Amino acid sequence: MTEPANTGALKGLRVVEMGQLLAGPFCGQLLGDMGADVIKIEPPGTGDPMREWGQGDEKVQWEVIARNKRSVTCNLRVPEGQEIARQLIASADVLIENFKPGTLEKWNLSPDKLHSINPGLIIARMSGYGQTGPYSTRAGFGGIGEAMGGWRYIVGEPDRPPARMGISIGDTLCATYGTMGVLAALHHREKTGEGQVIDTALYESVLQVMEGLVPEYDYNGFIRERSGSILPGIAPSNVYSCKDGPFMIGANKDAIFARLAEAMGRPELAEDPRYRTHLARGENQTELDELINAWTGTLTIDEVDALMIEHSIPAGRVYTAKDMLEDPHFKAREAIVEVETEGHGKLKMQNAFPRFSKSQSGIRRPAPVTPGQHNAEVFGEILGWDQEDLAEKKKSGLI
Choosing from 171, 289, 302, 386, the catalytic residue is 171
Q: 90 near 118, Cβ under 8 Å?
A: yes
Q: Which string of DSSP letters, residue by residue, matches 133-158?
A: STTTTS---HHHHHHHTTHHHHSS-T
Residues in the chain: 399
In sequence order, the 6+-apart residues with CB closer than 8 A to the CB of 398 are 44, 74, 75, 78, 80, 81, 84
Name which of 64, 15, 74, 57 is nearest 39 in CA terms: 15
Q: 21 near 61, Cβ under 8 Å?
A: no
In sequence order, the 6+-apart residues with CB closer than 8 A to the CB of 318 are 239, 245, 246, 247, 248
Helix 169-192 with 23-33: angle, nearest 10 deg: 50
Q: 339 near 363, Cβ under 8 Å?
A: yes
Residue 291 CA to residue 277 CA, distance in Å, equals 17
Residue 254 annotated among the catalytic residues of the structure: no
Provide the annotated active-site residues. 171
